[in-house]
Amino acid sequence: MSDADERTAASIILKDLALFNKAAILFDKMEPAIRTVVSDLARDWLEKCGWKGKVDFGDFSFWVCPSKWKEENAEPIARFVFTRRPNVESLSYNLADMCGIGQADFGFQFVVTWSSLGGSAGRAAFAKSTGELADELLKNGWINAGRLVFFRPIKLPAELLADAWESEDWTKFLAPLERALDALVADQDVFDRIIMAAKPKTELAAS
């Protein structure tokens, strides 16, 4: 936001400071509610699909992965993290960014545990394999964010937020997130091939 835009916005806010104060108080109540319904959705999805993950959305981030990517009591070989787009700064509310009306956006980032993939040698093999499979990833909505980081943006519908809050029915508002989770299952085969090309220390079990 430019200095001129900031001054204009401040002028509008200050003309009704009482309303702004009420909105800020309400928003502080809304964000915890959003974190709860997202956590509940992700937890139900894990149970339905049999994947593993950590889905407490208390810090506006959670991760999931196929069960075969994670051995018991160990870090997963790789995971899909729902988080803000990497390397993008934002001063916006998390909810605004999640709805695509802030300064950044949210989505799933493919995160690799390099110590499980042979360190620098694994990174080189990973880079080669992702180059060969990049077209498949891009076709499925993934973005190459650079430095071997792949990100799939998700936008929740801001126009449905008010109805979801009033009715306490979050189904339609969270539908894009649920579809994106289901798409991870469809994309698993591509990422399995990427991981195997990097020769992980632990062989992936059959699906």
Q: How many structural domains is the chain composed of?
A: 1
- Residue 24 located in a structural domain: no
- Residue 13 located in a structural domain: no
pLDDT tens-digit map of 17-47: 777 677 777 777 888 899 999 999 999 999 9
pLDDT, mean of residues 175-197: 92
pLDDT tens-digit map of 66-87: 999 998 888 899 999 999 998 8
Which strands sit side by side in the sheet containing 62-65, from one edge to the other?
A: 52-54, 62-65, 78-84, 106-112, 149-154, 143-146
pLDDT of the residue at 54: 96
Could you give the CA distance from residue 82 to residue 93 in angstroms, rounded to a whole number? 16
pLDDT of the residue at 64: 98
- Residue 127 located in a structural domain: yes
pLDDT band at 207 (very low <50, low <70, confident <90, very high): very low
pLDDT of the residue at 106: 97
79's CB contacts (< 8 A; 6+ apart) are 53, 63, 64, 65, 69, 70, 110, 111, 113
- Residue 203 located in a structural domain: no
What is the residue range of 70's domain? 30-197
- Residue 132 located in a structural domain: yes
